[in-house]
Chain A
């Protein structure tokens, strides 16, 4: 494919907040390029600065320094009126949905259309179309308080689509939802990306969300951009400490009492999911392994994901196991200090 058009370009932005006795640097010299049609994940621990970053993309937060370009237009140089115009093309959805509680579902979707002065009848027609897309036609006359979390987010998505945006920013959009609902919302976002070609930026602290739908990911750590790349690259070969911490989420506490220090991380990429690789390895080597972490899934009959295994203390057996796994075309990485 030819080089894709750059949709969002973040150039050396920093953002600091002044409080009474300290200056908090929420973002430090962040650079980012997001191409048209991508689903781009921004992940980080809470307080890492990811919410500030996404708010800099539509200037809800004004960076202390640096520039933000949307389709080549520098937002920092726009007048307030021009900025409002640009914002109509950058939709946003939120963790807490942020619907107008005193308006019906249909009128919520009409809201952005009212702002740009569309006629009421026309706006309602359009809103009805959008409700069809998010699969909530029967709730048109309901009020947000009568909806479940997932339904509220669907309304928020319909509202976001009302202005035919080029970009959709999602700020922890699934963090208040249960896993099943999260899945269905992510599927909806995927569909929107595919059918309307909308560039999507997803802010999350959940690894699974990024794995599920993003093509690219940026890892933010204490206001610094730690790592960027395709989801596959970053997840299978995390380079920085922050990235590793996220990929091996929650490691140190839970496994620290185990004795063996021989841990390996294996990455599944091309093995048929029908093949019981680990089971066969145990049978072949006649020794048990401890699965410390496993996150694999079946995508079209191919196993994807990773596992962390604790191998037996016996070096010969352990090496045989590693050789066995490598033979099966799995990537094996010995983790030196995975267990302290």
Chain B
């Protein structure tokens, strides 16, 4: 159906998409995880209530999340260029992807951690546990199933964003779909990229659910 050339392009595109998605998810967690934890700790009934810090993070997270990804991508081009030296290509795209995903991940982490039973936190406090111990050994450990499930959601969302970045030369499967499918009317190639994207999401979802289930000991 496809020439070898096209097939190798699709394979490469898949790898590039995976590279962008996984790398930006990783960096987005480096930013988003502490932000999410801070939101939980500083909220009014948290372990370290601090209205000031909570409000700042809350507002910043909301602002970044309100900007549509494509706009954000263009908006921060100067920043991206300053950071990686150019504004297009997979590595450059990781910058806006990370910035767009971090606040989203902060919210996901926040909601996962809020699921942890208040009574268990109280029990840990009664044993003399420090805030650090509670975050590490109670909040993150007890919420691990929810955290993994949400990480899967984050991956799929970031995968979608990465495809969108194809419109401005981001690289990967989205880029191929735009160039061949949209500009050159080669619909079959566009379909192929869509199927590959669907497969990627399916695989991620499958692995995520599997892992989450495996480490969940809350039920018999």
Q: Which residues of B contact A169 (CB under 8 A)?
A: 126
| Interface membership of A99, Cβ < 8 A | yes
Bound-complex Cα distance A112 to B123 (A): 10
| A96-B141 in contact given A85-B128, A87-B126 (Cβ < 8 Å) | no
Partner of B126, one of A85, A92, A100: A92
Which chain A residue shows the least CB distance to B215?
A102
Bound CA–CA A163/B124 (angstroms): 13
B195 at the interface (CB under 8 A from A): no
B145 closest partner in A (C-beta)? A102
Q: Is the CB of A145 within 8 A of B217?
A: yes
B141: chain A residues within 8 A (beta carbon): 100, 102-103
Complex formed: what's the CA distance from A229 to B216 in Å?
Answer: 48
Are A102 and B217 in contact (CB-based, < 8 A)?
A: yes
Binds A, one of B54-62, B90-98, B114-122, B197-205: B114-122
Inter-chain CA distance A87–B124, complex, in Å, is: 10
B120 contacts A90, CB within 8 Å? no
What is the size, in residues, of chain B's interface with A at 8 Å between Cβ atoms?
25
Q: How near does chain B come to A78, taking the closest CB pair, in angstroms?
A: 12
Report if B110 contacts A (CB, 8 A): no
A101-B218, A145-B219 known; A87 vs B128 contact (CB < 8 Å): yes
**Per a CB cutoff under 8 Å, which of B119, B129, B130 touches A98?**
B119
Q: Are A98 and B144 in contact (CB under 8 A)?
A: no
Question: Are B127 and A146 in contact (CB-based, < 8 A)?
Answer: no
Number of interface residues of A (CB under 8 A): 29
Q: Which of B126, B144, B215 has the most CB of A within 10 A?
A: B126
Which A residues are CB-close (under 8 A) to B125? 60, 87
User: Does A69 belong to the interface (CB within 8 Å)?
Assistant: no
Residue ID in chain B nearest A95 by CB atoms: B119
A84 with B130, Cβ < 8 A, contacts A103-B141, A111-B137, A114-B137 known = yes
Residue A204, interface by CB 8 Å: no
B149 → chain A, closest Cβ, in Å?
Answer: 14
Q: Is A67 an interface residue (CB 8 A)?
A: no
Cβ of B86 < 8 Å from any Cβ of A? no
Does B138 have its Cβ within 8 Å of any Cβ on chain A?
yes
**Could you give, for residues 101-123 of chain B, a 1 whenever the CB lies within 8 Å of some chain A CB and a 0 otherwise?**
00000000000000001011011
CB atoms of A98 and B127 under 8 A apart = no
Report Cα–Cα, A114/B129, bound state, in Å.
10
Neighbouring A residues of B133 by C-beta, 8 Å: 114-115
**Contact yes or no, B128 A145, CB < 8 A:** no
Residues of B within 8 A of A96 (CB): 117, 119
Interface status of B184 (Cβ within 8 A of chain A): no
Expressed in whole angstroms, the Cα–Cα distance for A163 and B120 within the complex equals 17
CB atoms of B117 and A115 under 8 A apart:
no
Within 8 Å of chain B (Cβ to Cβ): is A91? yes
Interface residues of B in 164-220 (CB under 8 A from A): 215-220
Give which listed residue, A102, A103, A104, A115, contacts B128 with CB less than 8 A.
A115
CA distance A124 to B133 in the complex (A): 19
Chain B residues within 8 Å of A111, by CB: 124, 127, 137
Can you sample 25 A-B contacts with CB below 8 Å?
A: A60-B122, A60-B125, A60-B126, A84-B128, A84-B130, A88-B128, A91-B127, A94-B119, A94-B123, A99-B120, A99-B123, A101-B120, A101-B218, A102-B141, A102-B144, A102-B218, A104-B217, A111-B137, A114-B137, A115-B128, A116-B128, A143-B217, A143-B218, A145-B220, A169-B126
A contacts, CB < 8 Å to B:
58, 60, 84-88, 90-92, 94, 96, 98-104, 111-112, 114-116, 143, 145-146, 163, 169
**A92-B123, A112-B129, A115-B128 known; 15 other A-B pairs, CB under 8 Å?**
A60-B126, A85-B128, A87-B128, A88-B127, A90-B126, A98-B122, A99-B120, A102-B141, A102-B217, A111-B124, A114-B133, A114-B137, A115-B130, A143-B217, A143-B218
